[in-house]
Structure 1
Amino acid sequence: MKQPPKIAIVCEFLSVMGGAENVVLAMHKLFPDAPIYTALYDASRVPAFQDADVRTTWLQKLPRFLRKAYRLFPTLAANAFRRLDLSDYDIILTSSYLNANQVQKARPDQKIISYCHTPARYYWSHYELYRKNPAYGPLSPFIKLLMPLMVPRQRRRDYEAAQRVDVFIANSTETQRRIKKYYGRPSTVIYPPVETKRFSPARTRGDYYVTMGRQLPNKRFDLAVSACTTLGVPLKVYGNGPMHDELVALAGPTVSFYTDRFGDASDAALEEAINHAKGFIFPSDEDFGIVTVEALAAGAPVIGYRNGGTLDIVTDGETGVLFDNQTVEDVVSAIKRADTIHWFPSKLSRTATRFDAGLFATKLRKIVLDNYKG
């Protein structure tokens, strides 16, 4: 009788819950006996993994203040993954957007299956954007000088690691295009898992819009804040990050902020807000954008940038309104246009079911088992 494969799950970091971490959680639920290897782990900030067998690299032994500054040490994280001993496993399943694919095979019969959120944006698709604004606070001028010296080597190592991957899975058609462009590799698209059933779209909607996420420069929350301030319409902003103070300074009296992940910005608070929201504003150029699927599941039309993974999710005029340029003027025009369309929350919610977590599990399990010889 064929023995089930021994699987190891590998991801970059488990220190904050986001889209990539939700994918790792879904992998854990699908393969609960598989240990999760990660560079750094903060159990207090990701309680969803409390029952998982999480194993860390030597970086976990660094003093806490250095662990919190892990983004300053990309080469150390890459080296830590290369030093992992994964010889006991038949399948190495990575959830990767930066360094997880640096893992090494110990035997020729091992398979590396990479669920790729994007080829590392810092090295490839968004290098110029990050070099312009690295978002390292007072260290940014120093990082700008270092990037041209460090990135070429990291880019070369990332490419070499991609050639060792046996199977690439892309989280969107945009990521599939990048995998082909930067790595020269084919991939299969499996959309990330979304718990669509946890939302209960209200038939009667509020008068406010919602946006949410990690407040980084590339997310362009400034566009949503400025547009709603210009129009004088209510906007609820959920999340925190390096750009938070700048966003608060931009905001007019109709914009409110919710930053406590375990309080006013908890899952329950966000669900309640989106379930009744007039719409969801998503000005970012994302690899996929799980929050846009959640918005649709909650019955909120998406006002989004016509690029990246959003094109897999939102159909202009049917499930939202897309704008062509990342400018305040374009977002203002999109909000005005959305206001002229009569949206049906139940219909929007039904369109989100094609991204349900159950489909992700079924498709991923098949790929893993198809690549195990036993």
Structure 2
Amino acid sequence: MANVTLAPTLANDTRRFGRVALVHDWFTAYAGSEKVVEQILQVFPHADLYSVVDFFPESQRSALGGKHATTSFIQHLPRARRAFRNYLPLMPLAIEQFDLSSYDLVISSSHAVAKGVLTGPDQVHVSYVHSPIRYAWDLQHQYLSEAGLERGIKSWIARALLHYMRIWDQRTANGVDAFIANSAFVGRRIRKAYGSEAVVVYPPVDVERFELCTQHEDFYLTASRMVPYKRVPLIVEAFSAMPSRRLVVIGEGPDLARASAAAAGNVTLLGYQPDEVLVDYMQRARAFVFAAEEDFGISVVEAQACGTPVIALGRGGVREIVIDSPDPERSTGLFFGEQSVASIVDAVERFEQHQAFRPDVCRRNAMRFTTDRFRREFLGVVERAMEGNEAPSKPPARRWRSA
């Protein structure tokens, strides 16, 4: 990737960038992509928010600076609060109805349709892509399988819809002046889907709120939403095959019943836990276990910030976080190669034999992903895009590197 000069100050002067619009797919929960929006608003506090729907919890709206988003017609459709994703076929139309013609700079935070907003030739559009639409591109077949849509008329309707989404998604990529990817892994997906290069700016992680713990107890931890691609039941099954290894599981979701059914006596499922409880377990765990193929992996960074090593599937963005090295001065965890019980069991046994992970090394590794670093690198990319309305998303050389 092209190197980016870090800006010395934040963009709190509207004279520097003019009017700024910040477009996010939807505001329904305070999760990883919303934390990115929170930090972008720290850089551009005067930005106006736009979103397909805004059902963000009022108790957490301070993360958005107290702002409410201008929403689309989908906000007012029946059952939108609980089932807004059912209106996916209408979202391309909805996002294109926002009139952003009065803005000088448009920033989109996109994992679905936000990057498809319409902009003119005198506007600069910078798109932070958490991922191209996963279920429309390389994960289509996995999505259809998990949704039980592999055969039948519903399957063909779903396939036709996803085909339409791919065409629209690729076409709207031409309206972006600069792509930012949240990992080199996503950068490669952007290149495959849109034919464009992307500067890598890793997501912000509030690592300062985690304290380094140098004394770890004899249990392993996994924590995430229990949705199929996280593979929590697989981790539970693997530890159930290792009765001498204790596992603690934190999280809830559709796969909770499957995880419970697979759990032996050495596996403790705690369900949802407040943040302070999660952090406590994360600090005390022998290691954090992660089996998903993620675009990045914020929970992995958080575990490292606690001084906790990580045992992870060696695919996706996590490879840019965890350092699997024979050098104890660098090593912060180890990888396994397959989403299988045997592979996880083997990794845990290798971990037990390693005995060389240093909490201070794990903590130092996590400090690469601070919120301050994100704000400065993000602003640097925007400044480059604004200078002469150039296109840093298409540099002459293909280099996947953090900004």
**TM-score relative to the length of structure 1:** 0.92
Partners of 1:66 and 1:142 in 2: CA distance: 25
Where does residue 98 of structure 1 map in the other structure? 112
Partners of 1:154 and 1:269 in 2: CA distance: 40
Q: What SS is found at the alignment partner of 2:30?
A: coil
**Higher deviation after alignment, 296-305 or 206-215:** 206-215
Q: Does 1:325 align with 2:333?
A: no
- Post-superposition Cα deviations, 1:165-223, rounded to whole Å, max 9, x if no partner, equal 11001111111111111110011111111111111122111222221222221111122
Query: Closer, same or farther in 2 for the Cα pair 1:36/1:356, shift >3 Å?
Result: same
Where does residue 231 of structure 1 map in the other structure? 242
Q: What SS is found at the alignment partner of 1:257?
A: strand
- Post-superposition Cα deviations, 1:137-170, rounded to whole Å, max 9, x if no partner, equal xxx9875342212111110000011121110011
Which residue identity does 2:132 align to in structure 1? P
Query: Closer, same or farther in 2 for the Cα pair 1:46/1:116, shift >3 Å?
Result: farther
Unaligned runs of 5+ in 2: 1-12, 326-330, 389-403
Correspondence list, 1:299-310, <5 A: 299-310=307-318
Where does residue 73 of structure 2 map in the other structure? 58
Which residue identity does 2:238 align to in structure 1? A
Partners of 2:307 and 2:70 in 1: CA distance: 39
Query: Closer, same or farther in 2 for the Cα pair 1:90/1:46, shift >3 Å?
Result: farther
Cα RMSD of the aligned pairs, angstroms, is 2.2
8 Å Cα contact 1:117-1:171 kept in structure 2: yes
8 Å Cα contact 2:29-2:56 kept in structure 1: no
Displacement of 1:288 in angstroms is 0.9
Query: Closer, same or farther in 2 for the Cα pair 1:141/1:350, shift >3 Å?
Result: farther
Unaligned runs of 5+ in 1: none
Partners of 1:234 and 1:135 in 2: CA distance: 33
Q: Does 1:184 align with 2:192?
A: no
8 Å Cα contact 1:209-1:236 kept in structure 2: yes
8 Å Cα contact 2:41-2:65 kept in structure 1: no
Partners of 1:145 and 1:246 in 2: CA distance: 28
8 Å Cα contact 1:95-1:117 kept in structure 2: yes
8 Å Cα contact 1:201-1:276 kept in structure 2: no
Where does residue 215 of structure 1 map in the other structure? 226
Displacement of 1:121 in angstroms is 0.8
8 Å Cα contact 2:54-2:68 kept in structure 1: no
Partners of 2:258 and 2:293 in 1: CA distance: 20
Runs of 4 or more above 4 Å deviation: 140-143
Partners of 1:301 and 1:247 in 2: CA distance: 23
Partners of 2:58 and 2:249 in 1: CA distance: 20
Correspondence list, 1:1-374, <5 A: 3-5=15-17, 6-44=19-57, 47=60, 48-49=63-64, 51-63=66-78, 65-105=79-119, 107-134=120-147, 144-232=155-243, 233-260=245-272, 265-317=273-325, 318-342=331-355, 343-372=357-386
Displacement of 1:352 in angstroms is 0.8
Partners of 2:138 and 2:257 in 1: CA distance: 27
Which residue identity does 1:28 align to in structure 2? L
Give % identity.
Answer: 33
**Higher deviation after alignment, 227-236 or 160-169:** 227-236
Q: Which has the higher contact order (CA 8 A, sep 6+)?
A: 2
The number of residue pairs the alignment matches comes to: 366
Partners of 1:205 and 1:362 in 2: CA distance: 34
Partners of 1:185 and 1:275 in 2: CA distance: 40
8 Å Cα contact 1:32-1:52 kept in structure 2: no
Q: What SS is found at the alignment partner of 1:68?
A: helix
8 Å Cα contact 1:43-1:49 kept in structure 2: no
8 Å Cα contact 1:15-1:45 kept in structure 2: no
**TM-score relative to the length of structure 2:** 0.86
Where does residue 3 of structure 2 map in the other structure? none
Q: What SS is found at the alignment partner of 2:136?
A: coil
Displacement of 1:373 in angstroms is 5.3
Q: What SS is found at the alignment partner of 1:122?
A: helix
Displacement of 1:73 in angstroms is 1.8
Partners of 1:46 and 1:144 in 2: CA distance: 39
